[in-house]
Amino acid sequence: MSEERKKNSPSIGERAGKYLTFRLAAEEYGLEILKVREIIGLMNVMQVPRTPEYIRGVINLRGKVIPVMDLRNKFGMGVTEDTEETCIIVVDVNLEGESVLMGTVVDAVSEVLDIKEDEIEDAPAFGTNVDTKFILGIGKIKNEVKILLDIDEVLTAHDLTALQDIGNKNTKQAVVIENEEVLEPAEA
């Protein structure tokens, strides 16, 4: 881990806690439970033109427009057919100091785990060209490994710009979804 990353990342003790675990392909990941707002079944996602490939679009969640990102696609894992287990985890993301709701499509939700300090290691070094700042740590539970994500760091500056264009609560844009209903962008 680089010196700059060590300075800016929380200590292992600060990373201990409850995580919602989920599956992408054959890999298990975890999100801090305090970042998770809710889990919903896959619903109709309206595509938004001129957004990155991994931004699926927006959903209407109880009258609020929420941008949706496909984590499998974002991580370069390839596209697969959605299944009955495919769902959207709605998370609270820090977008340049502002709290924004965002949906993340995952293959399946697994369970909530209480991961202790001694079960978390720093992300391994993959070399200078591999950015691991989005990995909060590696959880070692029994004989399994869970990649613990820092959802705020999963998004790059380019992603932030795309998401601001879609769901920034300060924009005066409205989005029309199904039945020509006008929806205001979601507030956290």
Place of tokens 């370069």: 76
CB 146 within 8 Å of CB 26: no
The answer to the question of residue 1 being in a domain is: no
CATH of the domain at 151: 2.40.50.180
Residue 94 has pLDDT above 70, yes or no: yes
| Distance from C-alpha of 184 to C-alpha of 172, rounded to nearest angstrom | 8
- Give me the mean pLDDT over the 37-42 stretch: 96
Residue 3 has pLDDT above 50, yes or no: no
**pLDDT digits over 115-147, tens only?**
999 999 988 776 555 567 889 999 999 889 999
The answer to the question of residue 20 being in a domain is: yes
**pLDDT digits over 51-73, tens only?**
888 999 999 999 999 999 999 99
For 128, list phi and psi in degrees, rounded to 5: -70, -25
The answer to the question of residue 175 being in a domain is: no
**How many folded domains does the chain comprise?**
1
Q: Provide the domain limits for residue 30.
A: 12-168
Buried/exposed code over 142-170 (b: 16+ C-beta within 10 A; e: otherwise): eeeebbbbbbbbbbeeebbebbbebbbbe
The answer to the question of residue 7 being in a domain is: no
The answer to the question of residue 128 being in a domain is: yes
Sign for the CA dihedral angle at 147, 24, 75, 170 comes to: negative
